[in-house]
């Protein structure tokens, strides 16, 4: 009996060790699969921020110093079709003077420019100037609806109406290629999905409208 018990114990310990090793290997595989690698992604998410809403809670930001912005570039974000995104892909380099000058023709503030390059731009695999050129082309490809140009009083729309206005002004955007994001009762962002070639396309998993039902407020420019 003692010999039988010893054999059973050894089998259990061996099986436990194999399971532990398998678990470690599985964890390592998952960790490797989620490591951010520059250039390894499926599509871009062009994010346009409605500046007046940002300025409701950031009144001292340089972006909000009476410049009258409507939509501004928040970022061009590499995305995975299955959900999620890479970020801060090594090597994270500092923007040169020429790259910063280019970036400030696109982003409203140096702080936002540097943040977006470090977190998202590094994952494009294009280098800084290549990423900024791509962001420039992406912004230029989207026509802002006349109804959503900067204005001096609040307007109210349903989220679907805002998406429809963008699709009317940009017929190439598919019905599943745009998302409207709100901050409480106010419009915060419009996100447009684009392929690596910067052509309009469908959004991946997890990209969807995030607004309450009914009318949402679109604050006036500051």
The residues, any chain, with a CB within 8 Å of residue 199's CB and separated by 6 or more, are 172
pLDDT at 66: 87
- Residue 29: the pLDDT is 35
Please check whether residues 158 and 119 belong to one and the same domain. Answer: yes
Task: Tell me how far apart the alpha carbons of residues 135 and 110 are, in angstroms, rounded to a whole number.
Answer: 15
Active-site residue flag, 27: no
Residues 26, 104: one domain?
no
Q: Same structural domain for residues 105 and 5?
A: no
**Tokens describing residue 179:** 């998302």
Q: Count of domains in the chain?
A: 2
Q: Are residues 51 and 24 in the same domain?
A: no
- For residues 60 and 122, state if they share a domain: yes
Residue 124 and residue 162 in one domain = yes
- 72 and 171 both lie in a single domain: yes
Q: Which residues contact 195 (CB under 8 A, 6 or more apart)?
A: 43, 44, 201
Instruction: Determine which one of 99, 120, 186, 189 is catalytic.
Output: 120
Is 120 a known active-site residue?
A: yes
CATH of the domain at 59: 3.90.730.10
Same domain, residue pair 59 and 150: yes
**pLDDT single digits (tens) 68-98:** 999 999 999 999 999 999 999 999 999 999 9
Catalytic residue among 35, 58, 74, 87: 74
Contacts of 162 (CB under 8 A, 6+ apart): 148, 180, 187, 190, 216, 218
User: Could you list the residue range(s) of the whole structural domain that residue 186 is in?
Assistant: 43-218
DSSP 116: H
pLDDT score at 31: 39
Q: Are residues 63 and 149 in the same domain?
A: yes
Q: Which residues of the chain have pLDDT under 70?
A: 1-34
Residues 29 and 49 in one domain: no
Q: For residues 98 and 129, give the distance between their C-alpha atoms in angstroms, rounded to a whole number.
A: 9
Active site residue 74: yes
pLDDT at 204: 98
| C-alpha–C-alpha distance, residues 9 and 221, integer Å | 73
Same domain, residue pair 5 and 69: no
pLDDT reported for residue 33: 44
Q: Are residues 14 and 52 in the same domain?
A: no
State the catalytic residue, choosing from 27, 99, 116, 161: 116
The β-bridge partners of 50 are 71
């Amino acid at each position: 009996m003692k010999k039988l018990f010893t054999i059973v114990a050894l089998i259990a310990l061996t099986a436990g060790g194999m399971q532990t090793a398998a678990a470690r290997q599985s964890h390592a595989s998952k960790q490797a699969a989620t490591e951010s690698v520059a250039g390894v992604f499926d599509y871009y998410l062009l994010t346009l921020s409605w500046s007046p809403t940002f300025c409701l809670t950031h009144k001292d930001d340089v972006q909000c110093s009476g410049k009258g912005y409507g939509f501004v570039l928040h970022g061009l974000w590499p995305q995975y079709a299955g959900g999620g995104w890479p970020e801060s892909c090594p090597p994270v380099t500092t923007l040169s003077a020429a790259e910063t000058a280019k970036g400030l023709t696109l982003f409203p503030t140096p702080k936002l420019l540097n943040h977006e390059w470090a977190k998202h731009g590094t994952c494009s695999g294009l280098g800084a100037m290549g990423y900024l050129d791509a962001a420039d082309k992406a912004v230029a490809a989207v026509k802002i609806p006349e109804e959503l140009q900067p204005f001096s009083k609040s307007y109210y729309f349903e989220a679907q109406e805002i998406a429809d206005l963008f699709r009317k002004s940009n017929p190439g955007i598919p019905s599943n290629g745009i998302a409207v994001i709100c901050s409480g009762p106010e419009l915060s962002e419009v996100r447009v999905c684009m392929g690596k070639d910067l052509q309009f396309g469908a959004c991946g998993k997890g990209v969807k409208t995030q607004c309450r039902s009914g009318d949402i407020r679109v604050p006036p420019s500051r």
